[in-house]
Amino acid sequence: MDWREQTVLVTGGTGSFGKRFAQVLLEEQKPKKLIVFSRDEVKQLEMRAVCDDGPNSPVRYFIGDVRDRDRLVRAMNGVTVVVHAAALKQVPACEYNPFEAIQTNVLGSKNVIDAALDCGVERALMICTDKAVNPANLYGATKLCAEKLFVNGNAYSGQHGTKFAATRYGNVVGSRGSVIPLFLKQKEEGVITITDERMTRFWLTLDQGVRFVIRSIELMNGGEVFVPKIPSMSLSDLADVIAPNCKRWITGIRPGEKLHEVLLSEEEARHTMEYDGMFIVTPPHSWWKGPKVQGQALPEPFSYCSDTNPHWLTKRELEHIVQLEVDSQQAMAVGAN
């Protein structure tokens, strides 16, 4: 796949992932055109300082909402690759505003699929989350629905139409809502709030997430869910690293929150292949005839959970990650001034 020949559109393009994805793609892959599709004009204005859309730039900005199918069709004219990152992501907000979560995360994803089919897009990849596996909250349930829509969207395009697939990964360091900025702020006040000291999470950096998405697009044949092999971390270890001398206030697990996360369920593992640095969930349907990436079958029973993951971040590695977040915050503060 030659990225220099691709016209790429990313929904939710001004979010944490979208901004970094645009930077990496422009610097390393140099696409023919990159369209940033989002509904926030202020964030687009701020992003222009990093990704200019001048006459000689391949970048273009589209104001639009994934709820608006007609606007998506207009934006996808001539597009060959779509990365669908737009979503309502905050668990409490989705619980309190369930209709809005469904309108954006489920029906918005359907609109992206419809527009991609109608515009002849070659590849469309959705960004999913570990919270979609055995979902315990509405956010996870809506992302599970959206993921299913993308996988089964291939039934509408056939062998020679748009290819649809998804990526699924865990918590992203430095993304909006990350626990690290919260702990850093609480450190100044002397008290860290922890829901449960036993809690574990999958963890990866923004750059790792971006490069995994790029690789998944290059590998996809349609119908796959790509899951990276990433480390786990303990919330208690993270608190030790950031604020070892602070008091801890245990608040208890919030509604819809899990003690541990799952990236690959035991049921899915039966039709999952282990590949270089990742797992690839293949379509289980008997009617699916598309080509599949070759890999090694998983043993039974198998599941990929944050508490039983063989790869854990050490405290030294966590210190490095925290320092990267501190440096990022300082850089943003300088830029704002």
Of 309, 326, 310, nearest to 318 (Cα)?
A: 326
Tracing tokens 């599941």 back to the chain, one arrives at 303
Sheet bearing 123-129, strands edge to edge? 59-63, 33-38, 7-11, 81-84, 123-129, 163-169, 225-228, 278-281, 272-275, 296-297
Mode of pairing for the β-strands spanning 59-63 and 33-38: parallel
Of 204, 208, 203, 258, nearest to 234 (Cα)?
A: 203
Distance of alpha carbon 23 from alpha carbon 207, whole angstroms:
10
Q: Is the peptide bond before 301 cis (omega within 30 degrees of 0)?
A: yes
Asked about 131 being catalytic, the answer comes back as: yes
Annotated catalytic residue, options 19, 89, 131, 143: 131
What are 173's strand-pairing partners? 205
Tokens coding 326: 């501190």
Residues annotated as catalytic (active site), given as ranges? 131
